[in-house]
Amino acid sequence: MKAKVRNLEGMDAGEIELPGVFNEPVRKELISRAVIASQANRFQPYGPGERSGLDYAVRSWGPGRGVSRVPRLTTGSRARVAPQTVGGRRTHPPKPERIWAKKINRKERRLAIRSALAATVSPEFVNGRGHIYDGELPVVVTDDVQDLHKTSDVINFLLALKMEKELSRTSMRYIRAGKGKLRGRKYRQPVGPLIVVSEDRGISVASRNIPGIDVCIASQICAEDLAPGTHPGRLVIWSSSAIKSLGEALK
């Protein structure tokens, strides 16, 4: 299986032999497991203190007063400490000592990456994710893309690959539904193309101000880069050297 290589102007610059990982069957359940494990391992534990809701001077009034025998403040009559009372502690609060991390077998994780790579060359999966691109897949370019240092150069490069509709799609952001608007995540940003290189010589700095665009090194690629949100089929732009190093990294 071969793919065309294009230069920064979008013109043909030869062909390249694709590694066999692009012929793997797409296993959605494996991709989902790998992405969820990657997200869980970044989760920060949270929860109240061990004595939260218990540090009050309380005592029960005992029987014979016609009221419930719950702990009450010694300076008043309000109930405290008991979970079932107004102003009491939480019954089952989140525990800071909880282990959120999820484990996944090494072979299973690597198979998920290969499966996610195979989905990136399928127009069905790529268009199913919402990407707008009518060209051939995969998109392979020369190694000159690794040397781009200016944001305008990256934009011109993407326009030369006829991705103006994709850039227009990722430049739109939407107001999130629900209470997430109150918690520092008011807007929802569409995910755009992923640029995979073998060596970062300035491309990540040049593209970080373009909405939806991410840059990844081929040797550090993971399932979450290729299938954000567990949905396979991300539009990926490969440098020719990244394609060559890909087969060795996933053996």
Whether 90 and 104 share a structural domain: no
Whether 89 and 200 share a structural domain: no
Question: Could you tell me the pTM of the whole model?
Answer: 0.86
Strands 194-197 and 236-239: parallel
Domain that holds residue 53: 44-99
Name the domain count of the chain.
Answer: 2
Whether 187 and 115 share a structural domain: yes
What mean pLDDT is predicted for residues 24-35?
Answer: 96
pLDDT category at 16 given cuts 50, 70, 90 is very high
Q: How far apart are CA 78 and CA 87, in angstroms?
A: 8
Percent of the chain with pLDDT strictly greater than 90: 92
* pLDDT at residue 249, rounded to an integer: 59
What mean pLDDT is predicted for residues 27-31?
Answer: 96
CATH code for the domain in which residue 196 is found: 3.40.1370.10
Segments of 110-181 assigned E as strands: 139-141, 174-175
pLDDT digits (tens, 9 = 90+) for 81-98: 999 999 899 999 999 999
On average, the pLDDT of the chain sits at 94
Whether 116 and 197 share a structural domain: yes
At position 192, the amino acid (one-letter code) is G
- Final residue in a domain of this structure, among 60, 80, 99: 99
pLDDT digits (tens, 9 = 90+) for 129-169: 999 999 899 999 999 999 999 999 999 999 999 999 999 99
Q: 34: buried, middle or exposed (CB in 10 Å: 19+, 13-18, 0-12)?
A: buried
pLDDT category at 251 given cuts 50, 70, 90 is low
